[in-house]
Amino acid sequence: MDRALLFSARGLRAFGFGFSAVLIGIHLEHRGLPGGLIGLTLGIGLASASLSGLGSAWLAHRIGRRRTLALSGVLMAVSGLDLALATSPALLVLSGLTGMLGAASVDLGPFASIEQTMLAEAVPASARNLAFGRYSLTAGLLNAAGAAAATIAFPTAAFFLLYAAIGVATALAPLFMSRRLEAAGPAVAFGAFRPLAYLAALFALDSLGGGFVANAVIAYWLHARFGAGAVFLGPAFAGIALLQAVSYEVSGRLANRFGLVNTMVFTHLPSNLLLLMVPFSPNLSVAVAVLFARFALSQMDVPARQAYVLSIVPPAERAGAVAMTGAVRGVAQSFGPVLSGLAIGAAAFGLPFFAGGGLKIVYDLALFRGFRRRPAEHER
């Protein structure tokens, strides 16, 4: 029951994030924001998502995991109401302060550190790789449905009212989870994190690159570069999300066979080479085809990374470890959309992809060099 509620709550959020990533750039443009302010809004959202993870880890230590998850759902509802109802540029730019803007991924935000800790403790260590693959698979399928829903001819403000309603639903779900998902024994908000220092630095490098090519940035780039509208972008990003969903299931199986670090590196590296090819696309169809190939590989590292981080620290420190690495990743990632927005506004159409792909390739090589001989606890 608890695992079903965790998966359901993540799936609902992923549905909201699916249509948000497609529509938010266009929605903000319709509200009168220029490319630079759109990028700034996305950047604030990514930075706040990462920092809110630290806040949720601390809060869970004080009031419990289930109450913290419920409060995070309220924050999602507030963000949706802001986007749906606000007309002031200042209020729109600040819409991401809740940490629930949904511009990039369901992997960041106040939910991640708590949910992933619960999941790691709800399954045996031997089943952890597949459990995190299924956790990501659930999100991927619902993310695809959300992207497809973006093609419905509703005003974009109506979608963000739905986004607020999803926040309310995800606030209610933790109230039905059992007490056994609360921390057992003395709770630790944050540990020493010495094993994670270098890993977190690498995650920051990867996320800085990822910020240049967050889904919302790519959707807006396709709109600015080729004139793609929501009717085209919705199915395109639904297809991308389906490819990602399949890759999550494959990731768990690859990790069981080849190891978590090898799975992270040798699926991520070719995807970043494909990313460098996107700006050379002569038309919209070719650009989307290259993106499809890229996204079929690019997210296989997500469940492997989640399982790896949770498996190299003591159980009592897991929430803090996820929050700390997420914060480092998110703050670094937040710079990407700002720079991408400026690049798009100046018609420097290749910059987001060259910068993002190049930084991610450096991350892949450094990760393999630094961690190929350090398996997770359940891989020894």
**Nearest Cα residue to 341 out of 149, 14, 93:** 93
Higher pLDDT pick, 265 / 22:
265
Q: 102 pLDDT exceeds 80? A: no
Gyration radius of the chain's alpha carbons:
19
What are the b/e assignments for 277-300, b being 16+ CB within 10 Å? bbbebeeeeebbebbebbbbbbbb
Q: 291 pLDDT exceeds 80? A: yes
Of 132-136, 141-145, 235-239, 341-345, the one with minimum mean pLDDT is 341-345
Cβ atoms of 240 and 287 within 8 Å: the answer is: no
Average pLDDT, the chain: 82
Q: 337 pLDDT exceeds 70? A: no
- DSSP readout, 261-330? HHHHHHHHHHHHHHHTTGGG-SSHHHHHHHHHHHHHHHTTHHHHHHHHHHTSS-GGGHHHHHHHHHHHHH
pLDDT of residue 273: 94
| pLDDT classification of 129: cutoffs 50, 70, 90 | confident
Of 183-192, 194-203, 232-241, 353-362, the one with minimum mean pLDDT is 183-192
CA distance to 68, 87, 185, 198, 329, per residue, from 364 (Å): 34, 42, 37, 13, 15
Q: Which helix (H) or strand (E) holds 352?
A: helix 351-371
Q: 1 pLDDT exceeds 80? A: no
Mean per-residue pLDDT, 88-112: 76
pLDDT of residue 285: 92
- DSSP readout, 60-111? HHHH-HHHHHHHHHHHHHHHHHHHHH--SHHHHHGGGGGS---SS-TTSSTT
Mean per-residue pLDDT, 283-308: 90
Higher pLDDT pick, 346 / 79:
79
Gap between the Cα atoms of 108 and 330, Å rounded? 7
Q: 347 pLDDT exceeds 50? A: no
Mean per-residue pLDDT, 246-259: 86
Cβ atoms of 251 and 133 within 8 Å: the answer is: yes
| End-to-end Cα, the chain, rounded Å | 31
Higher pLDDT pick, 360 / 40:
360
Gap between the Cα atoms of 164 and 175, Å rounded? 18
For the chain, the structural domain boundaries read 2-181+189-379
| C-alpha torsion angle, residues 273, 278, 279, 280 (rounded to 10) | 90
pTM of the model: 0.71
The percent of residues in the chain predicted with pLDDT above 90, rounded, is 20
Gap between the Cα atoms of 127 and 12, Å rounded? 24
Q: 7 pLDDT exceeds 50? A: yes
Burial class for 344, CB neighbours closer than 10 Å (0-12, 13-18, 19+): buried
Mean per-residue pLDDT, 3-17: 89
Q: Per mean pLDDT, which of 82-86, 150-154, 209-213 is the most reliable?
A: 82-86
pLDDT of residue 346: 47
| pLDDT classification of 339: cutoffs 50, 70, 90 | low
Higher pLDDT pick, 55 / 365:
365
**Nearest Cα residue to 170 out of 245, 96, 115, 91:** 115
Cβ atoms of 206 and 363 within 8 Å: the answer is: yes
Structural fold of domain 2-181+189-379: Growth Hormone; Chain: A; (1.20.1250)
Mean per-residue pLDDT, 261-290: 92
